[in-house]
Amino acid sequence: MVRILINSKSNNGTGKTSGEEIEKLLPGETFEYVDVTTIGNAYDYLDTVPEDVKVVFCGGDGTLQHLANDIHSRPLKRDIYFFPAGSGNDFWNDVKGSVKDELLLVNKYLEKLPVTIVDGKEYCFVNGVGYGIDGYCCEEGDRQRALSDKPINYTSIAIKGLLFKFKPRTAKITVDGVVHEFKNAWLAPVMNGKFYGGGMKVAPDQDRLNKERTLTCVVMYDKIPLHALMIFPKIFKGELVNETKHVSVFTGKDITVEFDQPCAMQIDGETFLNISSTETHAYRD
C-alpha cells in the first residue's frame, strides 16, 4: 500500500494529476490518496500511519516547507518520500535535476534545517529566505492570484519591479558577527539550497548538506535600475554571482539582513509583508 499525501492546489491546481505519475513508478502497488491539507500536523499524523504503508508527499516547495515546519528538525521515525508536483520545484531541481523518474527519500533533507526568525517567530526553511525584490515578486504574485486564476509570470513582475515598482534599500548584512553595508540593495536572500523563485540559481555553490551546515547570502546592489535589469537574468543560469562589482556573496551560520525601509520577504515562497529585518541560523546539533 502506498499512501500519497497530495496537495491538490499545487502547480496551479493540477497537483492531483501530477501525483498520479507516481503510480507509473510503482507498478503492482495499491494506492490511497489523502489531501495533505486535511491531516493537521504532519509529524503527528505520521505516527498514525501503519508501518507497512509507504508514505509519499506530492506537491511543490510550499508543501515541503509546511512539512518541514511540522517536523521542525525533530528525528523522523519512518521513511518519507517526495514526488514533485509544484510550479517551481526548486528543491527537486537542486537535489535531483529536472528528471522525475523516481521517488526521493527526503529524511536527510528535513531533519537538520536552518531557521529564520520573523517578528519573533521561528520558521524552518528548505530552499531559502528571499528579501528585497524577490519578496516583492511574491507579494505581487499573491495579489494577482487573488484576482485571477491565470498563471503568474514572475519574470514579468521582476522586470517591472526593477524598472518601476520596487525601490532598492540600504542594507546591513551581518554574517557571523561581521557587518557589511550596501546602498541600493535589490535583493539579499539567505539560501540553504541553490535555487529559489521557480528556477533562479541564485547560490550556485551552496550545498544544502554541507558538513558545516553553512548558509549563503547573495547581495545584489546597483544604483542604476536599467543596469540592474541587464544583469538580473544571469540569475537563471547561476551566473549572477560573477558580477562581482554589483554582487557580494557571504557564507556563514548566523546571518542577519536589515533594510532601512520595510518590504516583503518570502520563506520558500510564502510571503510576509512589511518586514524590516530577519535573522537566520544554521542548524546546530
- pLDDT of res. 166: 93
- pLDDT of res. 11: 58
- pLDDT of res. 73: 82
Tell whether the torsion through CA atoms of 106, 110, 114 and 115 is positive or negative: positive
**Other CB atoms within 10 Å distance of the CB of residue 280:** 27
- pLDDT of res. 168: 95
Distance between first and last Cα of the chain: 35
Compute CA 159 distance to the chain's CA centroid, rounded to the nearest angstrom: 21
Q: Which three cell numbers stand for residue 232?
A: 538580473
- pLDDT of res. 154: 81
Q: For cell 560573477, what's the residue?
A: 242
For each of the chain's 285 residues, which pLDDT tens digit applies? 999 999 876 655 555 676 678 888 998 999 999 999 899 999 999 999 999 999 999 988 989 999 999 999 888 989 999 999 887 889 999 998 877 778 999 999 998 999 999 988 999 999 999 989 989 998 998 899 888 888 788 888 888 889 888 999 999 999 999 999 999 999 999 999 999 988 899 999 999 999 999 999 999 999 999 999 999 999 999 999 999 999 999 999 999 999 999 999 999 989 999 999 999 999 987
Q: What is the architecture, at CATH level 2, of domain 2-111?
A: 3-Layer(aba) Sandwich (3.40)
- pLDDT of res. 47: 92
Q: Give the separation between CA 126 and CA 192, rounded to whole angstroms.
A: 7
Exposed / middle / buried, residue 115 (Cβ in 10 Å: 0-12, 13-18, 19+): buried
Q: What is the architecture, at CATH level 2, of domain 116-281?
A: Sandwich (2.60)
Domain positions in the chain are: 2-111, 116-281
